[in-house]
Copies of this chain bind each other. A is one copy, B any other.
Amino acid sequence: MDSALLRHYESVRQRSLRLAEPLSAEDCCAQSMPDASPVKWHLAHTTWFFETFVLEPHESGFAPFDPSFRYLFNSYYNGIGARHPRPQRGLLTRPPLAQVLAWRGQVDERIAALAATAGDALRDLLTLGLHHEQQHQELMLTDVKHLLAQHPAAPAYLGRGLPAAPPSAPLGWQRFEGGLVEVGYEGIGFCFDNELPRHRAWVEPFELATRLVTNAEYARFVEQGGYRDPALWLSDGWDRVAAGELAHPLYWQRDGNGGWREFTLHGLAPLDPHRPVTHLSLYEADAYARWCGARLPTEAEWELAAQGQAVEEGSLHPDSAPRFGLSQLFGACWQWTSSSYAPYPGYRPQDGALGEYNGKFMVNQYVLRGSSCATPAGHARASYRNFFPAGARWQFTGIRLAR
């Protein structure tokens, strides 16, 4: 196998450890809700993935680091067997964090040894494992943010303050002609099975907003009664508003002076008017769009607009002008689309247990496009399909308007 992939392997694996560095073993063990997982669990599960899907079928004389981990750190692969119940991941005080780190080290060594002899055969599996780990790196951040947000002291994950965003550019509209287009991954690099096959789709002419909706814009929606007018809301969303579950983005708090502050990975901070609003459900994104006389894009529209664009990494700069005039496609917030998560025409899941990776979740979820400030560099693509239930708010989700 070429050494570039192995260096990439080491780099990705190291980054997971770096993400855990600001956290104690206690921080890494707790689970704040069934949808979120402990950081230790993420560190273990990503290792389980390599041990189970790479080493077990390919390492001669394979023996697991600890046989009980097959059960403890299986996420949802029925093809692998039974697993620990998801809502109880926070009760796994054993193995301790130190042992999970030892496991990571041992698996990394075995992967390196295997790669040295295996030639190119493992390339696809390793690559999948690294993209899988990058997905969990984002979840480590969103899950630990949710955990810390439950603490009355609202402790910061990162000590240094949140930098102020540059002033947001005026919101413009970019027109696309649509027509009979192609969407889905095209190329020779990696993609997930849910991005395939590339296929034709008919898209009517449309416009996309040139940047994401900002905190200042969304605050106006809140202040002007956006959460009090049922005519703006999908029925399921209004039910949540009426039940008192939705009144503002997840981590917003009134600051006592008529303004807002927001819990961030850097702790509580005054709401930055120029940053894109984030931690919204699809219901809120949709209601905001209706309030503006706009709508959410379909995933085909979004992808069409993003095709051929360079992926901006981690950029919050809405004025960095990309080729077509659209900024913040990547690196700011995942962007809700109105498209439910469904198989592309001709979709075929991978064979075996890995076929459970994506396909079985294609119901009751909505597609998000782009990437967020928490997405690892190199992970995003124009054809990438992220997905969450319409009510999910703990991811870095935002709004790109369409019309």
Contacts and interface: CB of A to CB of B under 8 A. Distances in A.
B151 A94 contact: yes
A27 B342 contact: no
A360 interface: yes
Contacts of A78: 230-231, 238
A202 B356 CA distance: 28
Contacts of A79: 231
Name, among A78, A202, A230, A234, the residue most crowded by chain B CB atoms within 10 Å (CB to CB): A202
Contacts of A202: 180, 200-202
Nearest to A181: B202
A340 interface: yes
Contact of A96 (B24, B153, B200, B295): B24
B200 A235 contact: no
Interface string A309-350: 000000000000000000000000000001110110110000
Interface stretch (A48-56, A68-76, A135-143, A209-217): A68-76
A287 B153 CA distance: 34
A30 B29 contact: yes
Contacts of A338: 342-343
A76 B30 contact: no
A235 B76 contact: yes
A134 to B, nearest CB: 22
B363 A93 contact: no
A286 B236 CA distance: 24
Contacts of A283: 363
Interface string A13-38: 00000000000111111101000000
Interface stretch (A83-91, A122-130, A168-176, A253-261): A83-91
A282 interface: yes
Interface of A: 24-30, 32, 40, 68, 71-72, 76, 78-79, 84, 88, 90-94, 96-97, 147, 150-153, 155, 180, 199-202, 204, 230-231, 233-238, 282-283, 286, 295, 338-340, 342-343, 345-346, 355-356, 360-364, 390
